[in-house]
Amino acid sequence: MSDLPSRSEKPWLIIIGTGEDGPDGLGEEAKRLITGAPVVYGGARHHALMDGLISGERRVWQSPFERSVEDIVAHRGTPVVVLASGDPFLYGIGATLSRRIGTGEMRVIPAPSAFSLAASRLGWPLQDAAAISLHGRPVELILPHLHDGRRIIALTSDENGPAAIAALLTGIGFGRSRMTVLEALGGERERVRTVTATEFALERIDPLNVCAIEVVADKAARIISFASGLDDALFEHDGQITKREIRAVTLSALAPRHGELLWDIGAGSGSVGIEWMLCDPSLKAIAIEQSPERAARAARNATALGVPHLALVEGAAPAALAGLPEPDAIFIGGGGSEPGVLEAAIAALKPGGRLVANAVTLEMEALLLSEYAKRGGSLTRLDISRAAAVGTMSGWRPAMPVTQWRWIKDQE
């Protein structure tokens, strides 16, 4: 943990947002601060753009990036300028530095972000569009935002980003979506081109680009609903899946909250952990699965449903739980009746955390009944029947009943 100073301390770190128009886009104060700085950090592109202003020592970002952060922190109390792209606190360097340096020690002069520039060129109200960064991130992160009529502004990594997005859209039923590639916004090389995803053939795309998408869904488009309890057909599985109706009730019982971490023990297809993460971008989940085949399947499902950052631990609980980050919530969907699993989960859960366990076997149900008698909580029996063919007619075919125990750990 860092010791963040109070706001009363004099700022020594100046973070200045820059654009492709270089010094012309800066105010006089920003120019003066850059010129007078003894040390200036930034990418090679930033230094080139501000070449005529920089008189101090130039330092280019190192790899790994943390080395540069440590170097900046070591200058605490002496003037340092950091050159950033656009708004430093929108998917930028500001967020990283603020984890180590208090706001009282820094001054920030932002420039328009790539998202703001793109929205202004398109005439889109920025608050009505999904603004996402795919810079250095899997392109599949765009998947949860693909709803018919949605507008998306996506920051890409390089010149290959727009083509990757077009291929993804075309492959899952969004090929008619209009894609506008906005390149080198604000500079002399600025260019704006529009094409549909299926007809994407743009060449010589500038590495600095933003891709704006007007989503058009075909009839067979793979749309990820906002609701919990996604169609089972969206998941690849071998039968080891928490069915959609039970999954919806389970997510309700887990009650996701901002920034929380879930352990999904006996993850199977990974459906519960995946839907937990789809509730909000701040949520994280670790799927624990002892079968290598099922763990690989869960990873594929996570990517296909737009949460490729689902963490997977291959191994059997309780041994596989050792050393994992402390969870805010735990779901036990498989293997809960194995010796020590429930006890280890209860011990690991944060005070005030929620534990939800589902039972379909008599052995697991007996264990949950015992825990309910000992610890309290709530016990629910879930019976689902689906219409199915009975000869030439239809009738109700019951699924295996599920007993669900929900328990909240006492605050210490």
Helix, strand, coil percent content, the chain, rounded in steps of 5: 30, 25, 45
What would the pLDDT profile of 210-267 be if each residue is shown by its tens digit? 999 999 999 999 999 999 999 999 999 998 899 999 999 999 999 999 999 999 999 9
Give me the mean pLDDT over the 172-189 stretch.
96
User: What secondary structure does DSSP assign to 238-266, as a single string?
Assistant: SS-S--HHHHHHHHHHH---TT-EEEEET
Using an 8 Å Cβ cutoff, are 173 and 338 in contact?
A: no
pLDDT at 6: 45
- The answer to whether 275 and 331 have CB atoms below 8 angstroms apart is no
Q: Environment class of residue 233 by beta-carbon count within 10 Å: exposed (0-12), middle (13-18) or buried (19+)?
A: exposed
State the DSSP string of 263-296: EEET-TT-HHHHHHHHT-TT-EEEEEES-HHHHH
pTM of the model: 0.91
The reported pLDDT for the residue numbered 412 is 67
C-alpha–C-alpha distance, residues 219 and 74, integer Å: 57
Helix axes 271-278, 244-254, angle to 10 degrees: 50
Q: Quick check: 395 pLDDT over 80?
A: yes
**Cβ(133)–Cβ(223) below 8 Å:** no
* Sheet containing strand 151-155, strands side by side: 130-133, 151-155, 209-214, 178-183, 191-196
pLDDT (tens digit per residue) in 190-213: 999 999 999 999 999 999 999 999
Q: What pLDDT is recorded for position 9?
A: 63
CB burial string 323-346: b at 16+ within 10 A, e below:
eeeebbbbbbbbbbbbeebbebbe
Q: Report the percent of the chain where pLDDT is more than 70.
A: 98
**Rounded to 5°, angle at Cα 33 from 29 and 35:** 115
Burial of 263 (0-12, 13-18, 19+ CB in 10 A): buried
pLDDT (tens digit per residue) in 274-313: 999 999 999 999 999 999 999 999 999 999 999 999 999 9
User: Are the C-beta atoms of residues 91 and 67 closer than 8 Å to each other?
Assistant: no
**Token pair 């005439």: residue:** 123
Reported as a single tens digit per residue, the pLDDT across 88-141 is 999 999 999 999 999 899 999 999 999 999 999 999 999 999 999 999 999 999
195 neighbors 179 (Cβ within 8 angstroms): yes
| pLDDT bracket for residue 3 (50, 70, 90) | very low
Rounded Cα–Cα distance for residues 231 and 274 (Å): 13
Q: Determine contact, residues 270/313, Cβ cutoff 8 Å.
A: no
Whether 194 and 178 have beta carbons less than 8 Å apart is answered as: yes
Average pLDDT over residues 26-45: 95
d(Cα 75, Cα 191) in Å, to the nearest integer?
40
**Residues 294/240, Cβ–Cβ less than 8 Å:** yes
23 is written with which tokens? 């010094």
Average pLDDT over residues 152-173: 97
Helices 292-304 and 271-278, packing angle to 10 deg: 30
User: What pLDDT was estimated at residue 311?
Assistant: 98
Band (315; pLDDT cuts 50, 70, 90):
very high
Overall average pLDDT of the 334-357 stretch: 94
Longest dimension (CA), the chain: 86
pLDDT band for 7, please (50, 70, 90 cuts): very low
Rounded distance between C-alpha atoms, residue 133 and residue 181, angstroms: 14
pLDDT of residue 5: 45
Q: How confident is the model at residue 411 (pLDDT cuts 50, 70, 90)?
A: confident
**Dist CA 139 CA 4 (whole Å):** 35
Residue type at position 411: Q
Q: Rounded to whole angstroms, how far apart are CA atoms 122 and 143?
A: 22
Helices (H) and strands (E) in the chain, counts: 11, 19
What number of other Cβ atoms are within 10 A of residue 133's Cβ? 18
Task: Please give the average per-residue pLDDT across 40-53, as a whole number.
Answer: 94
The proportion of the chain whose per-residue pLDDT surpasses 90, expressed as a percent, equals: 95
Tokens of 164: 């990757």
Q: Is the pLDDT of residue 407 over 90?
A: yes
Q: Per-residue pLDDT for 37 more than 60?
A: yes
